[in-house]
Structure 1
Amino acid sequence: MEAVLNMMIGVFTGVITTVLLYLTKLIIDKILLPWYQNLTYRGIDVSGVWEGEFSSSDTANFTAKLTLDQSAHNLSGSYIVIKYINGEEQKITSMSVSGEVWEGFVSLKCRTISNKNLSFGSMLLKINDSELNGHKVFRNLAGNGSGIVNRPIILKRTEGNA
């Protein structure tokens, strides 16, 4: 009976130790490390709202809105594109973005929020005074959806976020 009790105590303390180690790791990864990175980060701040327009043909025009949240060099946020054909709104695509700032560039990975209209892509943008200038590469949803579309894009910081 004593051996079973000792074994149960050992298992219980092992489980408690595992839980405490896991919670310690979460606290370090989710609280302490981001706090320290924000404290020591001396790079550019690209957080805020960025907007721009681009076209893919004579009839199709797009407006884009990129909202970025920044924690040191890590970025997260949303990217919303509205498609217009002959001036009429046709489609709104909402994407989540994640990425980073590194040596004057913003690198973003984008993925649609809805599972009804799947798309994904990447953006590489050079940081200039009040604009992000670069290219976006996305999976083309038109036709069979197998093409890759490369488009130049310029996004300007909106008022109040300078």
Structure 2
Amino acid sequence: MDILIQQGIIGIITGILTTAILFTLKVFWTAKVTPFLASIRYQGVIVSGQWSGFAEVTEKEIEEKKLEGTPFKSEHSLFLNQNAHNLTGSLLFKFSNPEKKFSIDFNVNGYMWEGYITLNFTPKDKRVTSYATALLKLHDGGHTLVGSWLFRDVIKENVLQTSMFLSRQEQ
């Protein structure tokens, strides 16, 4: 009877250790090996690096286009890391108008497919509740990104859309 108990305990311990080793190998494979192989095989455009842009809406444009709101200026500084089609990075967004001035740091996750880039922005500061999404097209031989971004207006509690134009910053 003692031998059966000992063999049972050894079997349980061996099963637990085997499970832990297989789980560790799976995590290593999916986190390191698969992305490495994908980046080696990737034949597409590289968009890694720094991108920047700005926007300005003047009082004259608001009157001509019959827009709501006040004149504003905004700046975007986007830093992208690329692994095949997957994109990660950060965005520093600066905004100013006569009523307020602020900047927000975002974490960026996205995907590139056939020259289009989809990016999702979540604030690094978890106290901030402003989120955004952008759809951009690669233009000018890979030197500019042109499109729109949608973001949550935390004051009016609705979704706003503005144009986004970014150019690649050469290193």
Q: Which has the larger radius of gyration?
A: 2
1:76 paired residue among 73, 88, 95: 88
1:96 — aligned with what?
A: 107
Q: Is the 8 A contact 1:123 1:134 kept in 2?
A: yes
Counterpart position of 1:135: 148
Q: Which runs of 5+ in 2 are unaligned?
A: 58-68
The Cα shift of 1:47 comes to: 0.5
Q: TM-score, normalised to structure 2's length? A: 0.86
Question: In 1, Cα distance between the equivalents of 2:127 and 2:19?
Answer: 40
Of residues 76, 80, 104, the one that matches 1:64 is 76
2:24 — aligned with what?
23
Deviation at 1:89, TM superposition (A): 7.7
Percent of paired sites with the same residue? 28
Q: RMSD of aligned C-alpha atoms? A: 1.6
Is the helix fraction higher in 1 or 2?
2
Aligned pairs (5 A) from 1:116-127: 116-127=127-138
Aligned pairs for 1:142-161 (under 5 A) are 142-143=155-156, 146-160=157-171
Task: Give how far 1:5 is off.
Answer: 1.2
Q: Distance in 2 between matches of 1:67 and 1:89?
A: 25
The Cα of 1:3 is off from its aligned counterpart by 2.0
1:113 aligned to 2:134? Answer: no
Q: Distance in 1 between matches of 2:121 and 2:150?
A: 10
Structure 1 counterpart of 2:161, one-letter code: N
In 1, distance between residues paired with 2:155 and 2:105?
A: 16
Give the aligned length: 157
Q: Which residue of 2 aligns with 1:41?
A: 42
| Aligned partner of residue 118 in structure 1, secondary structure | coil
Give structure 1 regions of 4+ aligned residues with deviation exceeding 4 angstroms: none
TM-score by length of 1: 0.90
- Structure 1 residues without counterparts, runs of 5 or longer: none
SS of equivalent to 1:49: strand
SS at match of 1:7: helix
Deviations 1:97-152 (A, max 9, x none): 11111011111111001012122121110011210001101111224xx2001111
